A and B are shown apart, each in its own frame.
Chain A
Amino acid sequence: MDKKVTLEDIALKMNTSIVTVSNALAGRSGVSSRMREEILKTAHEMGYQKRKRRDKASSVGGTYNYPGKRIGVVVSHRYLERYTSFYWEMYQRVVLEASREGCFVLLEILNAEQEEKMQNPLLVEENQIDALIILGMLETRYLSELHKKCGIPMLFLDFDDQEVPCDAVVSNGFFGMYQMTNYLIHNGHRRIGFLGEYYSTNSIMDRYQGYCKSLMEHGIEIREDWVIPDRDLLSGNGIEAELPEDMPTAFVCNCDLTADELAERLEASGRRVPEDISLVSYDDFLLKGTMFGRLTTYAVDMDAMARQSIKLIFKRFGGELAGKTVRTIDGKPVIRSSVKKISEGDREDYVDYL
């Protein structure tokens, strides 16, 4: 291209103002999302390149380092069945962060056949994308084959598979659940169960170990009959947890959905949350259900996770990363009304370790 494409060129072509074009490309408000999309598309087609900034700033993965790049998001159909809202929401945040950077996001839902027969996502087969985000865990076998073949930066979002040398962005399940379990103990609970199948995913395993850390620190024995699976190991489908005869006073649930299902069953059999049993969980993404607005849970910072994902991909584009890089994003406990204070809890003395 001889002549550089300017904002004015784009504005002329789109029959709109330069300010609108500038706002759209910079990710500022004041432009409808449809308009923004069209402007981004036109800018890309016309080969618009943002002016190079001063060198001083070039180390930042800030705005417009890689305009027009296409980022594929692949999510398994399994997750869109059970966790519809959570993954759609995460996907939206990725789109938002990407569009701020002038990048496009393409979505592909992986069906059961593709997974079983180890077929690559079409986005990869058809060379449609410059980078790939896998949203939600897939089998190691599938991931490592895909990683060998795809030849573009690949990133795991909301899970990690350490056997595949890909970057990953995860939430802090270990410390998160540690904090949530501590909260129960500070409210006087000592008979605490865990609801989750830790063999099914790495993240549930981390949350379980966080629960164990809290119990161990407080000298509370981990009772195996109080660690209860909530899903089928093979299919990943939810199952009705088998509740013990001798019930704990509180449950640490591996995710909001599981907590809600448990609460529904408990309340159907006449037991109330939190009067009869206290619950804490993880995610802070319950849109409906009996626990809606009541669950004390660990809020995952989805914005920060989406932002880090795009940042890491840009760093990969720029060759700034050496080995596998895993970013753990902290969330925060959100205290609502699913925990009953049953006594003053543990004494906070100066010698809890001495």
Chain B
Amino acid sequence: MARAKNENAVTQSDIARELNISVVSVSNALSGRKGVSDELRQRIIDAADELGYRPGKLQEGSKKKVLHIGVLISKRYLAGTSSFYMNIYQKIAMLANQRKIFTFLEILDTEEETTGKKPDLFENSQIDGIMVIGELSRGYTKMLKETGSVPMVFVDYYRDIPDTDFIISDGYTGTCQLTRMLIRAGYRKIAFVGNLQATSSILDRYLGYRKAMMEKRLTLREDWVIKDREDLCGEICVKLPPEMPEAFVCNCDRTASILIRELKKNGYRVPDDVGVTGFDHFLAEDLEGIRLATYDVDVSAMAEISINTLLRKIDKMHFISKLRVVSGTIVEGNSFLWKKE
């Protein structure tokens, strides 16, 4: 995957040689023509992927037309100073730039989303493909997919809509791993912080927490599922529960940082009195000496996969539309204590 940009471009005959098959088969497979078994086609696509093959008009330095990609983000994710989604957008814009692809950014109003109004990007005839970043309602997503005339991929969320390309981080597994780590460290009374109704990724993270708790038969208490905002667009704020748990699993790093502030205000020390974990590894800096235990979402990998998927769709390469789950890694930090080994 990681090949220098100006190295000789990978050709179809490289793929053919790699798999010991004819160039015609490779060409048929990649352009979606008949004459190749589904199984072989998949192997060819996999090999093309791994070799970093990019079809004709997308090759570096090719003289063909410049590509334009539209990026759509809902306004409600851009509240506050720095947003996780802006971070993903920056990564994508930078990658696109390196490949001489221009990106248009459109911020979607909450109102447009509720009324089902089409984004302006749809009116722009220059656009070759659209990337939607951050969760939109199922209905709106479906409308985009069905009425859009250009290829589309959806980043950082997932909806149950067939034959659609979603690229997400592994919130379910990640949060499960974090919670398991707390349990291994000796914590038993563990709460979850996040609005389950807010987004599908928060629900996934909650279910990962729930799985880890259930498999050790630990009690799931309703009063220990704690909201982190009053309504969808509101500022993050966390109220401590009347009966305190030993640790909090938070749905994201920002929420964790606000919780830690709230804990301090109420005289609790982290990690001595209470353990805290986050998710997404978005906080670059320490919180007054606390390095948050979190799940490092590989934003660069997500950006790269998103853009590659969209480019292949634009080039009408045959491939199977599906959910792509990008795994991350656990960051242990020092926001909880190993009470027992």
Report which A residues bind B (CB closer than 8 A): 26-28, 53-54, 56-57, 59-63, 162, 172, 174-175, 178-179, 182, 198-199, 202, 205-206, 209, 212-213, 216-217, 303-304, 307, 323, 326, 328, 330, 348-354
Contact A175 B51 (CB under 8 A): no
Contact A352 B137 (CB under 8 A): yes
Complex interface: chain A residues within 8 A of B14 (CB): 54, 56-57
Contact B114 A350 (CB under 8 A): yes
Q: Does B18 contact A (CB under 8 A)?
A: yes
Complex interface: chain B residues within 8 A of A172 (CB): 323, 325
Complex interface: chain B residues within 8 A of A206 (CB): 211
Complex interface: chain A residues within 8 A of B51 (CB): 56-57, 59-60
Q: Mark B228-254, 1 if CB is under 8 A from A, else 0.
A: 000010000000000000000000000
Report which B residues bind A (CB closer than 8 A): 1, 3, 7-8, 10, 14, 17-21, 39, 42-43, 46-47, 50-51, 110, 113-116, 135, 137-140, 142-143, 158, 160, 170, 172-173, 177, 180, 196-200, 203-204, 207-208, 210-211, 214-215, 217, 232, 322-323, 325, 327, 329
Kindly state the separation between the CA atoms of A353 and B39 in the bound complex, as whole angstroms: 39
Q: Which of A174, A328, A353 contacts B197 (CB 8 A)?
A: A353
10 closest cross-chain pairs (CB), A and B: A350-B139, A26-B20, A62-B18, A209-B207, A350-B116, A182-B160, A57-B18, A60-B50, A353-B137, A330-B322
B17 to chain A, nearest CB (A): 7
In the complex, the chain B residue whose C-beta lies closest to that of A64 is B20
Contact A60 B47 (CB under 8 A): yes
B108 to chain A, nearest CB (A): 12
Kindly state the separation between the CA atoms of A124 and B204 in the bound complex, as whole angstroms: 39
Kindly state the separation between the CA atoms of A326 and B327 in the bound complex, as whole angstroms: 8
Q: Which of A28, A53, A162, A352 contacts B18 (CB 8 A)?
A: A53
Given A56-B8, A350-B143: A209 touches B210 (CB 8 Å cut-off): yes
Q: Which of B18, B140, B323 contacts A63 (CB 8 A)?
A: B18
Kindly state the separation between the CA atoms of A205 and B216 in the bound complex, as whole angstroms: 12
Complex interface: chain A residues within 8 A of B17 (CB): 53-54, 57
A322 to chain B, nearest CB (A): 9
5 A–B contacts from the bound complex (CB under 8 Å): A59-B50, A63-B18, A209-B207, A349-B139, A354-B114
Given A57-B51, A205-B215: A353 touches B199 (CB 8 Å cut-off): yes
Kindly state the separation between the CA atoms of A206 and B210 in the bound complex, as whole angstroms: 11
In the complex, the chain B residue whose C-beta lies closest to that of A322 is B329
Complex interface: chain A residues within 8 A of B173 (CB): 326, 328
B118 to chain A, nearest CB (A): 12
Complex interface: chain B residues within 8 A of A202 (CB): 215
Q: Which of A57, A174, A303 contacts B172 (CB 8 A)?
A: A174
A216 to chain B, nearest CB (A): 6
Contact A213 B207 (CB under 8 A): yes
Contact A350 B322 (CB under 8 A): no
A221 to chain B, nearest CB (A): 12
Kindly state the separation between the CA atoms of A352 and B143 in the bound complex, as whole angstroms: 13
List 18 additional A-B contacts (Cβ < 8 Å) besides A53-B18, A57-B18.
A57-B17, A59-B1, A60-B50, A62-B47, A63-B19, A63-B20, A199-B215, A216-B203, A323-B329, A326-B327, A328-B173, A328-B325, A330-B323, A349-B137, A350-B116, A351-B137, A353-B232, A354-B110
Among B160, B215, B329, the most chain A Cβ lie within 10 Å of the Cβ of B160
Given A348-B142, A350-B115: A212 touches B137 (CB 8 Å cut-off): no
Contact A217 B200 (CB under 8 A): yes
In the complex, the chain A residue whose C-beta lies closest to that of B198 is A353
Kindly state the separation between the CA atoms of A323 and B329 in the bound complex, as whole angstroms: 9
Among B7, B47, B177, the most chain A Cβ lie within 10 Å of the Cβ of B47
In the complex, the chain B residue whose C-beta lies closest to that of A160 is B173
Contact B50 A213 (CB under 8 A): no
Complex interface: chain B residues within 8 A of A213 (CB): 203-204, 207
Contact A205 B211 (CB under 8 A): yes
